[in-house]
């Protein structure tokens, strides 16, 4: 009983941790939101982030730090981005 409670507490904690690891932005955030890189502590505007691949299935674009190029998170788009190739569907 005690053990199960501990397990679910740990699961919740790891969920919180994983959402902290991913920066989840919306399209509107690119317009002025301040971002800090947790790897190199670069600080700047969300529009300066380097965009990675766009995934049609999940409708997200990966984001990377413009200075150290490490993965920071993704943009969850409101609408599908047109004319962007999906690397999973069209390698
Ligand atoms: Zn960085």
> Ligand 1 center to residue 22 CA distance, Å?
14
**Residue stretches of the chain with pLDDT short of 50:** none
Flag whether the pTM goes above 0.75: no
Q: What is the model's pLDDT at position 63?
A: 96
Residue 87 C-alpha to ligand 1 middle, in angstroms?
24
Q: Give the sign of the dihedral formed by CA 19, CA 51, CA 84, CA 79.
A: positive
Contacts of 66 (CB under 8 A, 6+ apart): 42, 44, 48, 49, 50
User: Hey, what are 55's tokens?
Assistant: 């995934």
User: Considering only CA atoms, which of 47, 45, 50 is closest in space to residue 67?
Assistant: 50
pLDDT digits (tens, 9 = 90+) for 13-36: 766 555 567 899 999 999 889 999
Q: Which residue has the tokens 């690891």?
A: 21
pLDDT at 17: 58
- Cα angle, residue 28 at apex, residues 32 and 87 outer, rounded to 5°: 110
């Amino acid at each position: 009983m005690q053990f199960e409670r501990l397990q679910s507490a740990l699961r919740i904690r790891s969920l919180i941790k994983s959402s902290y690891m991913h920066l989840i932005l919306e399209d509107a955030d690119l317009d002025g939101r301040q971002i800090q890189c947790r790897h190199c502590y670069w600080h700047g505007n969300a529009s300066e982030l380097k965009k990675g691949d766009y995934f049609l299935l999940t409708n997200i674009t990966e984001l990377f730090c413009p200075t150290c190029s490490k993965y920071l998170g993704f943009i969850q788009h409101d609408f599908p981005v047109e004319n962007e190739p999906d690397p999973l569907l069209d390698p």
